[in-house]
Structure 1
Amino acid sequence: MIRLSENTHATLDLTITWQGPEALHEERYLLRNANPWRDIYPPGVKEAITGLRPGEKAAFDYAPGAVMPDWDERLVRSLPRKSFKPQSAQHREIQPQVGRFYPQGFFEGLPGVLPQNIRPARVLDASPDGLTIDLNHPMAGRFLRLAVEVADVRPKPGDTGGALSHIVERVCDFGPGMQACLRDGRPTIFEAPGALRRKDDGPDGLFYASPRMVNHVDAQASAHLAGIHARFVEPGALVLDLMSSFATHLPSGHPARVVGLGLNREEMAANPRLVDHVVQDLNADPRLPFGPGAFDAVLISLSLEYLIQPAGIIAECARVLKPGGRLLVGFSDRYFPTKAIAVWSELHEFERVGFVSQLISESRLFTELSTHSVRNWWRPVDDPHFPKLLTSDPVFVVAGSRVGGV
């Protein structure tokens, strides 16, 4: 079996874990064309993975500033309120909210920052007259653990070209860190006026009256979602698949018993995992028709963005979970935009992780919060969107454990 060296190319499965004030975060990323001859590695990594074969791995710990910039107070800037250029989404005017991230190009008066600059800036304070923003990288100042698994190794092509990757930047840029609360522990303001409204406020029962029988993510993304769920759902657990359809995101053969609650009876009847199902519109009636402590786990997969009372549904999930039971909320970047709450379309995908995390945390009904992202896998070649789309849909999951009591 070929070993990784400067004379090979490789696929590397990279995972960075880091602890935020409110949750443990895990970012998984597939570096699909690693070139050890050219790529930039953190200290010690290249030496440790040289000679590894597919399936072998190594792990490394890094202090703040070692592989990502340390937090720098000089990058906190004060600006007049008028420096934020008005934006709009779904006919809503976007105003800067405390804790939110916006492209640096949205702010006028930043030296060297062009209007097309999309690197994130975080609003720390906002008043009628002024703004305080943080230009630090969202992962600045954090302890990181990097795990590298060699997925495959192949001979280098005849030329010595290829991509030049800074492997930590590939994982950490343009998203990770944006799900964390503010450094001083303040929550992010997500629910500004109109945030929970939807473009299509018509009855959800009508929208979902006809069975769709379509996958909302590709098969690789579905497998990642199922794999994360399996880490938290014990064998034999009784699981509530909330807002269920014709597929439950658990691995084939996982020995869990699953009850579905959704809007279309035909879709759930076609779901082979369900031992029972209930038809209910949670936006019309958010009270779950189950007793306290009935379930070992609740899955909300690819659907939380459609709830107009998400905090109330989180509380209901806590009510029907046993102490220690798991809540797992998963989503991707694909959804029905007319049926999603307005704030969802305004958030960066990692801010959505923060939005869900904050909903769960502020309920004070869950502990052991963790977030999980999986990105940049290959899209299956038999997917209907291949080869127009080569990359699998990203997957995000927020997990929490029900505190004691029911």
Structure 2
Amino acid sequence: MKLLHSALRFRVNYFSDLGRHQVVVWMPADTPPVDAQVDVGPKIEFDVPLQAFRSEIAPLRVGRFYPSQLLHADDAPGPMFRVMKINGDHFSANFSHPLQGRIFSIDSGKSDVGTEPVGHVGQLLEWSGMETQMLTPTEFGGPDAYTREDETPDSDFYAQPRKLIHVDAVCARRIQAMYRTVLPENARVLDLMAGWRSHLPDTVQSAVGLGLNAEELADNPQLAERVVHDLNTDPKLPFADASFDAVVCTVSFEYLTQPEKIVAEAKRVLKPGGMFVVTLSNRNFPPKVIKLWTQLHPMERMAWVGMLIKNAGFKKVETYLERGLKRPRDDRYADRLNESDPLFATWGVAP
């Protein structure tokens, strides 16, 4: 019998030009109440000379967040800033909390979970708001954004089966629980960049796995059909229009070198009203990750995926972050990290 732990699920809710956003943190049941009217502080914005920014370390982009260490200054008013606009030889740096000036709410509720909650109140607003979008869209691109350290064919890199999951077991269960909530019941699902396991709920009717390693796909018990296909070589999905009720991409989106085309293809193969869901976390194979991924905060990665989904014409775009559960004792990082891998998700509805 699995031991259940009493927990409090705290959730921050807000909206931006991208869509709806939720941040969830699991905390022990005895956590004191959190004031729903939390003060995120005043607006702090300054005009900064371009030469004060360490451009040799990172490119300066409108809408992006940067640590204050990238400024040639010792008196920055906050640990990070967002670039609001660039005018000639100056830029506007906003050091305020990302939720400053936005309407947001905090709610909580008791729940029993199969993993010990270890989250704390400080995490609730720590990253909240970093995925929001302004009227001027964030500049994520660049001429080398989709280049990788290892540009050898992906079919060679993935030739040997690894048969592992790319998050810890707790995060994997939370991905499955999130899919259960978001995906339509009895759906025919396309699992993009599939491998040894798919983390799909039992409410799915059938699943087609598209991946690079035939042995891993064959050993995946959740797949009814298996297709070996390299999306970076050929982004065209080998399926007819309106073939699926849902398309998912689980902790693999960071390896795509033509992500706009893949999102457009996901929309094409979805039935009207179908769901496209992308889940992310913080583990990857560094040589195969696109350069842009290495330059973004995890919340910005989620925002970037959300912008791709929205720009492709999907409706009702949402982002979701969940953290605060204890890492499994048998996980390879358990001796260094107490908390399980965070879950980031973005989804949209096909029109």
Unpaired runs of at least 5, structure 1? 1-9, 43-61, 89-93, 153-162
Q: Is the 8 A contact 1:98 1:123 kept in 2?
A: yes
* CA 1:261–1:112: 2 relative to 1, 3 Å: closer
Mapped partners of 1:353, 1:308: distance in 2:
17
SS in 1 for 2:288: coil
Residue aligning to 1:225: 175
Residue aligning to 1:387: 335
Mapped partners of 1:128, 1:200: distance in 2:
36
Mapped partners of 1:151, 1:328: distance in 2:
25
1:123 aligns with 2:122: no
Q: Given the alignment, which residue of 21, 27, 31 partners 2:23?
A: 27
The percentage of aligned residue pairs carrying the same residue is: 35
State the shift of 1:301 in Å.
Answer: 0.7
* CA 1:272–1:84: 2 relative to 1, 3 Å: same
Q: Given the alignment, which residue of 60, 73, 79 partners 1:96?
A: 60
1:246 aligns with 2:163: no
* CA 1:202–1:234: 2 relative to 1, 3 Å: same
Q: Is the 8 A contact 1:11 1:31 kept in 2?
A: yes
- How many residue pairs end up in the alignment? 341
Mapped partners of 2:261, 2:42: distance in 1:
36
1:79 aligns with 2:48: yes
Mapped partners of 1:223, 1:133: distance in 2:
39
Mapped partners of 1:224, 1:141: distance in 2:
31
Residue aligning to 1:17: 13
* Cα deviation 1:81-103 (Å, max 9, x = unaligned): 01112443xxxxx1211110001
State the shift of 1:149 in Å.
Answer: 2.3
Residue aligning to 1:48: none
Q: Is the 8 A contact 1:98 1:126 kept in 2?
A: yes
SS in 2 for 1:274: coil
State the shift of 1:256 in Å.
Answer: 2.3
Q: Is the 8 A contact 1:379 1:392 kept in 2?
A: yes
Amino acid at match of 2:189: V
* Cα deviation 1:115-171 (Å, max 9, x = unaligned): xx6x2200112245111111110111222222222357xxxxxxxxxx9x6x3x431
If the length of structure 1 is used for normalisation, what is the TM-score? 0.80
State the shift of 1:105 in Å.
Answer: 2.6
* CA 1:34–1:349: 2 relative to 1, 3 Å: farther
Residue aligning to 2:158: 208
State the shift of 1:399 in Å.
Answer: 0.7
State the shift of 1:237 in Å.
Answer: 0.8
Residue aligning to 1:45: none
Residue aligning to 1:398: 346
Mapped partners of 2:76, 2:194: distance in 1:
49
SS in 2 for 1:313: helix
Write out aligned runs for 1:293-332 (5 A).
293-332=242-281
If the length of structure 2 is used for normalisation, what is the TM-score? 0.91
Q: Given the alignment, which residue of 122, 125, 128 partners 1:172?
A: 125
Greater gyration radius:
1
CA RMSD of aligned residues (A): 2.1
Q: Is the 8 A contact 2:29 2:110 kept in 1?
A: no
Q: Is the 8 A contact 1:375 1:395 kept in 2?
A: yes
Residue aligning to 2:206: 257
Return 98-107 or 272-281, whichever deviates more: 98-107
Q: Is the 8 A contact 1:68 1:139 kept in 2?
A: no
SS in 2 for 1:123: strand
State the shift of 1:243 in Å.
Answer: 0.4
Mapped partners of 2:15, 2:42: distance in 1:
15
Residue aligning to 2:3: none
Runs of 4+ in 1 over 6 A off after TM superposition: none
Amino acid at match of 1:179: E
Residue aligning to 2:102: 142
Q: Given the alignment, which residue of 298, 303, 312 partners 1:363?
A: 312
Q: Is the 8 A contact 1:81 1:127 kept in 2?
A: no
Q: Is the 8 A contact 1:234 1:256 kept in 2?
A: no
Mapped partners of 2:97, 2:346: distance in 1:
22
Return 16-25 or 391-400, whichever deviates more: 16-25
Q: Given the alignment, which residue of 69, 72, 75 partners 2:40?
A: 69
* CA 1:320–1:35: 2 relative to 1, 3 Å: closer
Unpaired runs of at least 5, structure 2? 1-5, 113-117
Amino acid at match of 2:49: P
